[in-house]
Structure 1
Amino acid sequence: MSDQPPPRSPREGGPRRPSGHRARAGGSARPVPRTRPAGSTPPAGPTPTRPLPRTPGPSPDEPVPAHGARPDAHRRGTSPDPGRSPYGAVQGIDDGGPPSGGPPRTRSSRRRSRTPRPLRLGATLVVLALVIVLAWGTGLTVWSNSRIDHVPALSGAEDTPGTTYLIAGSDRRDGEAVDEDGTTGARADTMMLLHKAPGGNSYLVSLPRDTLVEIPGYGGYKLNAAYSFGGAPLLVETVEEFTGLTVDHYVEIGFDGVSDVVDSVGHVNLCIDQDVDDEKSGLVMAEGCHDVGGEQALAFVRARYFDPTADLGRQQRQQQFVGALMERATSPSVMLNPVAQVRLAGAGSGALTTSEDTGILDVGRMALTARGAMNAGSTPTIPIEDPQYRTEHSGVAILTDDEDIAAFFAAVGDGSAETSAK
């Protein structure tokens, strides 16, 4: 009997594998590196290396990458470079981090670091500032609108091209007779028509209070009598018949409100060509230009008896006052000062009476339009036939010619009227 072990059958795994090999799953084997004794000389020939995983090459339809480029770097699960993981990070090396080590940066952390922190902070502050400004403006607008009195002033007449504002300065004298016409109570001493034509030109036209007009239902009277007879609605209707322009917005400013508005912005700069000490209006000014407060500004727009041109001279001073107030109200010292904004909004809205659909934003647009007209010299004067016309029951009035007036306001309406700047 032999001492040799019986041969193994294939079912039992076949012949014994040489030592130095380890079995793999599936029956394949790979060499196991042996440890070389210290001090021994490596065998001649190339050093065996562990084979790298094979990566699929490019398909025939894909372009060949340029020299130095990493093919298939965009594919998840490929490893174009030795030692790089299938997700693009080099194993054992901090991708983009300090060479001293540490966890590799993730893709999301690299994305977040693209925007510098100071820029992100600056953008946040800008957005926050815009929110505060919008909230402030909205709150100021709502508060101002709540303080405005509204009246059903508009007539509902057929609309005419452009935008037309009727600006009236009212004065209330309960129980006191007003001038020669015998009217009592409230009256409108100041009336101006502001029109923005479709072509862009704007005009500010003063309507002298003593202009002889036809008041619907009353006949021939001075223009200011329309307000005394029927308030804002009758005044609007009378002006529309006189000018041929439909009023879109009615804005009434109480004379006491004029004083408050001027004081809210500090002062306005007004000029006069002579020394004045008028007892009836209270205007006391030396010749030249002066910064005046609310009381003197009110006297400036009301005074007429010291001036030999009477109502016509006052008309020019009223236009000057409107321009000076708009200039001051839109100056940086007021527009950039929140405290001044609140004072102006409070004084202005509290002094205003407007037509039903006219809010503080419409008043703001009116102010900008008036300032533009003043700066452009677009303040034409209505044609007058006789400034000292004697009436039967209204005393001395300003007489106009119907045809001249119709042609004048037609030119204002379409933007072709001549101005002092042309």
Structure 2
Amino acid sequence: MLRRRGVTTAPARGQRWRPVAYTAVGLASLLVLGGTGYAWTQLSRLDTGLATADVIAPSAQVPSGRASLSVDQNILLVGLDSRTDVQGNPLPQNVLDQLHAGDAEDGGDTTDTMIVVHIQAGGGSATAISIPRDSYVQIAGGHGKHKINSAYTYGKQAALDTLREQGLTGAALERAASAAGARTAIETVEDFTGLTINHYAAVNLAGFFALSNAVGGVPVCLKEPVHDSYSGANFPAGEQTLSGAQALAFVRQRHGLPDGDLGRIARQQAFLSGMAQVVLGAGTLANPVRLSALIDAVQQSVVIDQGWDVLTFAEQMHSLSAGAITFATIPVQSLSLATPYDGDAVKVDPVQVRDFIDALLGRSAPSTSTSSTPTSAAKQAAETAGAPTRNPSATVSQTPSTDLSGCVN
């Protein structure tokens, strides 16, 4: 039985690594703060300021303290299309206007981004696996088959009536319902991927805005100029540095991209590569003003699971180098699957996805398919991880990992 509590505050500290997708910015920022002795001393400011949610099942929780260093861990990172802050308070309209996010009622609390980061025991390697937001899957909790980005919404909405009957209102109601949404999203990802989720981290629209501003902008490169009225993306071709609303538009755009969600994933991976370089550089960690702004942004922007010993997790990350990180996207079968109620979705095969993940992570256990041999797509993905992403056609068997060194669409 999962515990049903809302968002609270709890101690947290950090160290460095390179995740992917905009939701990872907050957690990345938190973890890189241990990069220097000066930065480490600043982490005490997070002790009473980091929001947490009780969303991980007891059976999935890793051992506390140093014992956690000896086990593999899977972290679900989500980016919420939410119009509230981490404490459940509505974002002011002037902030939404800056974010090109419409009105407070436009959000819907879907997860714009979902990534599972697998950390090897001891911290020697990490694999970041992106899941397209429109993947058509079975939603946990008996909600039927829908796009995976709606799992959070279904869980949250299902909990609201019960929580109101318990007398919760306002921000407290929002926090408790959000925790229920997170639990449904976690269970859905577990059922779909076959992975047990041990940790959870989320950031909303305003959080990404603050974090990208705090580091002074992130370098990106575009192959062609873009103009998208939906996301607000309006950029020339070539190299440029983005922050705030511009950065958010860059990673949210999917209309007008050759491959829709898959194109956006490539954007997010490239952006986070640049973000990691900026945060890990001496220009951020050795700059008291910028570092202070980054810590403030993390406090205001990031929600992690209750009980996560981030300080010990940081110790696990000491041996992780940039070259030891694999970036990948699950295989998809079609980008235009017609659905009864959700419009066009991304067609995915859970068996193929699990085989892909098994091959990617070097697992020897057989899958639930009729054959214990991983699919050829999974084998190819595992062998070519790190190769440039190819533009998929309407029907594709797998998407290779993104080349983070070049320009993107």
Q: Deviations over 1:312-331 (max 9, x none)?
A: 10111111122111111110
* 1:392 counterpart (340, 361, 366): 340
Displacement of 1:306 in angstroms is 1.7
Residue in 1 aligned with 2:78?
A: 168
Equivalent residue number for residue 420 of structure 1: 385
Classify 1:376/1:320 alpha carbon distance in 2 versus 1 (closer, same or farther; 3 Å). farther
| Letter paired with 1:215 | I
Please say if 1:140 is aligned against 2:42.
yes
Residue deviations 1:127-175 (CA, integer Å, cap 9, x gap): xxxxxx86x6565223223222111121334579611111111112589
1:222 and 2:147 correspond: yes
Larger relative contact order (Cα-Cα within 8 Å, sequence gap ≥ 6): 2
Q: Check 1:363–1:255 CA distance in 2 against 1; reply closer, same or farther (3 A cut).
A: farther
The RMSD of aligned alpha carbons is 3.0
The whole-number CA distance in structure 1 between the counterparts of 2:355 and 2:318 is 27
Q: 1:208 aligns with which of 127, 132, 149?
A: 132
- The 1-side partners of 2:61 and 2:310 are apart by 22
Structure 2: gaps spanning 5 or more residues: 1-35, 63-70, 85-89, 91-100, 156-180, 365-381, 388-409
Match of 2:109, SS?
Answer: strand
Q: CA deviation at 1:421?
A: 3.7
Counterpart of 1:153, as a letter, is V
2:195 is aligned to: 245
Q: Match for residue 401 of structure 1?
A: 349
Alpha carbons of structure 1 residues 365 and 315: separation in structure 2 relative to 1, 3 Å: farther
Is 1:381 the counterpart of 2:329? The answer is yes
Output the CA distance in 1 between the equivalents of 2:318 and 2:207.
Answer: 19
Q: Compute the TM-score of the two structures, normalised by the length of structure 2.
A: 0.62
Could you tell me which runs of 5 or more consecutive residues in structure 1 were left unpaired when the two chains were aligned. Answer: 1-132
Tell me, in whole angstroms, the C-alpha distance in 1 between the residues paired with 2:209 and 2:81: 13
Q: Tell me the SS of whatever aligns to 1:380.
A: strand
Deviation at 1:402, TM superposition (A): 2.6
Q: Could you say which residue in structure 1 is the equivalent of 2:216?
A: 266
Output aligned runs, 1:59-208, within 5 Å: 140-158=42-60, 162-173=72-83, 185-198=108-121, 200-208=124-132
Distance 2:205 2:129 in 1: 19
Q: Distance in 2 between matches of 1:367 and 1:297?
A: 27
Letter of the structure 2 residue corresponding to residue 420 of structure 1 = A
- How far did residue 357 of structure 1 move? 1.5
Partner amino acid, structure 1, of 2:289: V
Give me the whole-angstrom Cα distance separating, in 1, the residues matched to 2:386 and 2:341.
Answer: 39
Give the Cα separation in 1 of the matches to 2:318 and 2:131: 20
Query: Aligned in 2, Cα 1:383/1:202: closer, same or farther, shift over 3 Å?
Result: same
Residue 358 of structure 1: CA displacement? 2.4
Compared with structure 1, are the counterparts of its residues 333 and 158 closer, same or farther at alpha carbon in structure 2 (3 Å cutoff)?
A: closer
Judge conservation of contact 1:195–1:412 (CA < 8 Å) in 2: no
The offset of 1:244, in angstroms, is 1.0
Aligned pairs (5 A) from 1:258-337: 258-337=208-287
Structure 1 residues 287 and 329 mapped into 2: Cα distance closer, same or farther (>3 Å)?
same
1:410 to 355, 358, 363: 358
Tell me the amino acid that sits aligned with residue 139 of structure 2: I
Q: Shift of the alpha carbon at 1:281?
A: 0.6
Q: Is the 8 A contact 1:157 1:246 kept in 2?
A: no
- Letter of the 2:42 counterpart: L
Q: Which amino acid aligns with 1:207?
A: I
CA distance in 1 between counterparts of 2:318 and 2:213 reads 20
The structure-2 alpha-carbon separation of the partners of 1:258 and 1:379, relative to structure 1 and needing over 3 Å to count, comes to same
Structure 1 residues 303 and 366 mapped into 2: Cα distance closer, same or farther (>3 Å)? Answer: farther
* Letter of the structure 1 residue corresponding to residue 337 of structure 2: Y
Letter in 2 for 1:220: K
Greater CA drift, 276-285 or 378-387: 378-387
Alignment: residue pair count: 282
Q: Is the 8 A contact 2:251 2:271 kept in 1?
A: yes
Amino acid at match of 2:48: S
Greater share of residues in helix: 2
Q: What is residue 54 of structure 1 aligned with on the other side?
A: none
TM-score, normalised on structure 1? 0.61
Q: For 2:241 and 2:42, how far apart are their aligned partners in 1?
A: 28
Shift of 1:407: 0.7
The CA distance in 2 between the partners of 1:367 and 1:198, in whole Å, is 10
Q: Distance in 2 between matches of 1:267 and 1:184?
A: 25
Q: Are 2:60 and 2:198, in contact at CA under 8 Å, matched by a contact in 1?
A: no
CA offsets, 1:399-419, max 9 Å, x none? 112321121122234479334
Residues 360/295 of structure 1: CA separation in 2 closer, same or farther (3 Å cut): farther
Tell me, yes or no, if the aligned pair for 1:380 and 1:419 is still in contact at 8 Å.
no
Q: Which runs of 4+ in 1 moved over 4 A?
A: 136-139, 157-161, 362-369
Give the aligned partner of residue 99 of structure 1: none
Classify 1:232/1:372 alpha carbon distance in 2 versus 1 (closer, same or farther; 3 Å): farther
Mapped to 2, the partners of 1:223 and 1:340 lie a distance apart of: 36
